[in-house]
Amino acid sequence: MVHHSSFVDEEGISKACGCPLLPLKSHIKGPAPVSDQDKTDIVDEAITFFRANVFFRNFDIKSPADKLLIYLTFYINVALKRLEGCRTLAVGTKAIINLGLENVPVPGESGFPFPGLFPIPQSNEEAELFRNYLKQIREETSGRLLSVAYRANGTPNKWWLAFAKRKFMNIIIP
């Protein structure tokens, strides 16, 4: 059974490209509202549900937050693929930082992994807002992912890095 996001109530949440800009427990600057540190956010859900959701080829979308969960599951898969050969936390951190510096495509641009999942932005402002949100959420996910992909002593956690070989929704990672 696919795990869905618990963020189904979108009242008061702004959107870009049909995606809710959910609050994050983050210190990274960006358009996301700040969430309480003791509450679960979408990044926590994505990391928690990743190892179960990565096995699915189809994902039934029940709320717009599920679209963001799909995107983050794919991003975690990409990040784990980059971390696969990194034998220390320092090397893994460098690989994740390089991943964060890459261009973040939005719907309608080449390189966006899920054409049709999100509507194409109606304006340049909406596209930039969504790009900045995705960039912020990717950076936050990367930081939290490092804390589970590597143990406290800096060695890789094989129970996480083994999932780098999985293809989420049959999408081949370049």
pLDDT of residue 173: 54
Confidence of residue 127 (pLDDT cuts 50, 70, 90): very high
In this predicted structure, what is the pLDDT of residue 10?
Answer: 66
Mean predicted confidence (pLDDT) in 151-171? 80
Report CA-CA distances (Å) from 38 to 6, 30, 31, 35, 58: 16, 20, 20, 8, 32
pTM as predicted: 0.90
Q: How large is the average pLDDT for residues 96-112?
A: 88
Rounded Cα gap, residues 85 and 80, in angstroms: 9
Domains and CATH numbers, the chain: 39-166 (1.10.1760.10)
Neighbours of 49 (CB within 10 A): 18
pLDDT at site 174: 53
Angle value at C-alpha 52, between 105 and 35, nearest 5 degrees: 60
